[in-house]
Chain A
C-alpha cells in the first residue's frame, strides 16, 4: 500500500468519525429525531472493506450503519439531511439513521431488524451471479446477529449456490446490552468451518489489515463466485444507542479502548511512514470543513411536507 493510499483510508475513516461525532452533538442538542446508534471505534471495517469495492457492488447494513453507508460513497449532505429527517435527505426524510440507503451507489440500506441484511444481500449476490458482470455483495452485521436463525439459512444457501457474497462480521463483543459470550454457544470461525466457507479473521481496528484481507477475498470471488466470511475484531466505544449510559460495562474495558482506536493506529502508521503532524492536520481540516458544510446545509434544509405521507408507498398511483 502506498503512503498516498494509506492516507486516503485515513481520510475516509476520519470522515466517518467526525460525522458521527457531529451527529452525537446534534443528538445531544435535540436536533436528531429518533434513535442513533454510533459506530465510533469501528471505522476501519467499512473503510477497509470498501477499498475493495466498486460502485456496482452492493452492500447492506444494520442499525449501526453510518460507517458502511459513508464508506460506500454516498453524498455527505444527503446523509446528514436524512438523519435529521429533512426533505433533502437521501431517503427524503422517511428512513432516518436506521434506514439510510442510496441505491445509485449500491447501498441497499441500513436495517432496523437484526440479521435482516443477510438474506437481502444473499439475494443481491444471486442477482450478481445471474448478471455475470463480476460484481459482488457485502453484508455487514454484528456478533449479536449470529444468534439469529437467518444466519444459518444464508450461510447454507450462499455455499450451496456459490454466491459472491462477503459476510463481514463486526465483532465488538457486545449484543446490544449483553456480552456476546453469554449469547452465543459457538463462534463464527466454527460456523464457517461447518458450512465449508472460507473464513478470515483480522484485527478490525487496523484498516490496512482489513483492506488487505477484503481485497484478497473479493478478488477471488469476482473470478469464481463463492461466499467468504471476514470476521473483524473491533471495538464499540459508545453505548448500544446514544443515551445508553453503559452501566453494564466495566470502566476498565472502556478505558482500554483508546489504545485500540483505529484512527489513532492509522495515524501512528502514517507518521511511522514519514507523514508529519502538519499533513495529518491538513487532512483533518479538510474533513472537518466538509462535515461542517454538510451539517449546515442539512440543518437549513426544509422538513418534508405532511401532504407527502402517501407518496411512494407504491410506484403507481392507486386505482
Chain B
C-alpha cells in the first residue's frame, strides 16, 4: 500500500499497460514532450519513444478517428482529449464510427480503443472547459463510459478500459487530479459495470460517480451525526451501470438520491431515477431526488461556479426531502 495521487495513478496505469501489451499506444495533444496538459502522460515519451506516444496536432476529430482506424487494424490506442468539452469535435468518430462498427459489421471485429478525457469544474475554467458531457456518450449504444472517483479506481478502471475489446470513454475529473489516496500493492481488477459500496448505511441510498462520490460521503457524515445512516454507492461505470446493486441497496434503505456534477436535466440521474421508479417502485418510501448542476452553462466566476456545482449541503437537503 502506497500513497499516490489520482493523476499519478492514471500515469501508472498507462505505463503498466504499455509495458504489458506492445499494441497499446498513446495519441493526443501535447501528451509527449509536454507530458499532457495535466501531466497524465509525463515521462511516457522518454520511456516508450515516439513510435508509441504520438504528439498529435490540434485536431480532435482526426485523433479520435485515427484511434478507430488503428483499433480496427490490430492496435489498442489510448487517445487523450484535453478537455471533455472538446469531444464535441470528436462526436462523429465516437458516435457513428467507434460505437457502431461492431454491431454494424455483424460482429466481425471490435474497436478496442480508449478515450481519456477530463470533465468537471472547480478550476474556474469557464463554460468551454468545465462541462460534464458523459450522459451524451452513455446514450449511445456501443460505447462504455467509466468515471473513477479516487486514485485506486483511476488506475484499475483505466486498466480495465484498455483491456476491454470495445470502445471505452474514461472520464477523469480535473478537480480530483491532485487527490491523494492509497494504491494497493496489487491493484484491484475492476469489472466495468460493477458499482462499489463506498459507505454502507441502512436509512437512505445516495448513488454518485466521479467527484460527486466525495460530496456524497461528506453529506453522509453530516447525516450520521443526526443518527441517519446513509449508504453511498460509487457507480464507477455509468454505461453500463450497476442496476442490480442500486436496486439491492434501495430494497434495504427505501430512499434514493442520485448525484452528479453534470446538469441535472436529461442526465445519468434521470435514467437511474426512471429505472428505480419502475423496477424499484414497491421499495420506495419517498421521492427519488436528483442533485446536479442547474440548467445553465457552467459559469466562470468563483461565486457562480461554487453555486453551480453540487455539494454536500445540497445532498443533505435532498436526503431530508426524500426522508421527510
With CB as the reference atom, state the residue of chain B lying closest to A150. Answer: B61
A-B CB pair tally, cutoff 8 Å: 155
Is A97 in contact with chain B by the CB < 8 A criterion? no
Is B312 in contact with chain A by the CB < 8 A criterion? no
Looking at the complex, which of A34-42, A44-52, A121-129 is the stretch in contact with chain B?
A121-129
With CB as the reference atom, state the residue of chain B lying closest to A152. Answer: B59
Task: Report the bound CA distance from A125 to B68 in whole Å.
Answer: 12
Mark interface residues in A90-107 (1 if CB within 8 Å of B CB, else 0). Answer: 111111000101111000
A89 touches B73 (CB 8 A): no
Minimum CB–CB distance from A248 to chain B (whole Å) comes to 27
Is A190 in contact with chain B by the CB < 8 A criterion? no
B69 contact set on A, CB distance < 8 A:
60, 108, 119-127, 137
Is A154 in contact with chain B by the CB < 8 A criterion? yes
A123 touches B71 (CB 8 A): yes
Task: Report the bound CA distance from A101 to B109 in whole Å.
Answer: 10
Task: Report the bound CA distance from A161 to B70 in whole Å.
Answer: 14
Minimum CB–CB distance from B65 to chain A (whole Å) comes to 2
Looking at the complex, which of A195-203, A267-275, A306-314 is the stretch in contact with chain B?
A306-314
Is A109 in contact with chain B by the CB < 8 A criterion? yes
Considering the complex, which residues of chain B in the window 100-150 have a beta carbon less than 8 Å from any beta carbon of chain A?
Answer: 101-110, 141-142, 144
Size of the chain A interface, CB-CB below 8 angstroms: 50
From A94, A123, A154, contact of B68 by CB (8 A):
A123
Is B92 in contact with chain A by the CB < 8 A criterion? yes
Is A253 in contact with chain B by the CB < 8 A criterion? no
With CB as the reference atom, state the residue of chain B lying closest to A120. Answer: B69
A153 contact set on B, CB distance < 8 A:
57, 59, 61-62
Given A91-B106, A108-B72, is A130 in contact with B62 using a C-beta cutoff of 8 Å? no
Mark interface residues in A247-272 (1 if CB within 8 Å of B CB, else 0). Answer: 00000000000000000000000000
B70 touches A124 (CB 8 A): yes
A116 touches B104 (CB 8 A): no
Minimum CB–CB distance from B112 to chain A (whole Å) comes to 9
A157 touches B103 (CB 8 A): no
Is A131 in contact with chain B by the CB < 8 A criterion? yes
From A89, A99, A103, A119, contact of B93 by CB (8 A):
A119
Given A108-B72, A319-B193, is A150 in contact with B62 using a C-beta cutoff of 8 Å? yes
With CB as the reference atom, state the residue of chain A lying closest to B65. Answer: A119
Task: Report the bound CA distance from A124 to B92 in whole Å.
Answer: 17
Mark interface residues in A71-115 (1 if CB within 8 Å of B CB, else 0). Answer: 000000000000000000111111100010111100011011100
Is B242 in contact with chain A by the CB < 8 A criterion? yes
Is B226 in contact with chain A by the CB < 8 A criterion? no
Considering the complex, which residues of chain A in the window 169-220 have a beta carbon less than 8 Å from any beta carbon of chain B?
Answer: none
A93 contact set on B, CB distance < 8 A:
106
Task: Report the bound CA distance from A92 to B92 in whole Å.
Answer: 23
B106 touches A116 (CB 8 A): no
From B141, B165, B192, contact of A313 by CB (8 A):
B141
A130 touches B108 (CB 8 A): no
Spell out A's residues near B (CB within 8 Å): 58, 60, 89-95, 99, 101-104, 108-109, 111-113, 116, 118-128, 130-131, 137, 149-150, 153-154, 156-157, 160-161, 311-316, 318-319
Instruction: Please list 6 pairs of residues, one from A and one from B, whose beta carbons are closer than 8 Å in the complex, sorted by A's number.
Output: A94-B106, A123-B70, A124-B69, A126-B69, A157-B66, A313-B103
Given A103-B72, A150-B65, A313-B142; 13 other pairs, CB 8 A cutoff: A58-B72, A95-B105, A109-B101, A116-B92, A119-B61, A119-B93, A123-B66, A124-B70, A126-B75, A312-B102, A314-B144, A315-B165, A319-B191
7 closest A-B pairs (Cβ-Cβ)? A119-B65, A123-B69, A92-B106, A123-B66, A312-B107, A127-B73, A153-B62
Spell out B's residues near A (CB within 8 Å): 25, 51-52, 54, 56-57, 59, 61-62, 64-75, 77, 92-93, 96-97, 101-110, 141-142, 144, 164-166, 191-194, 240, 242
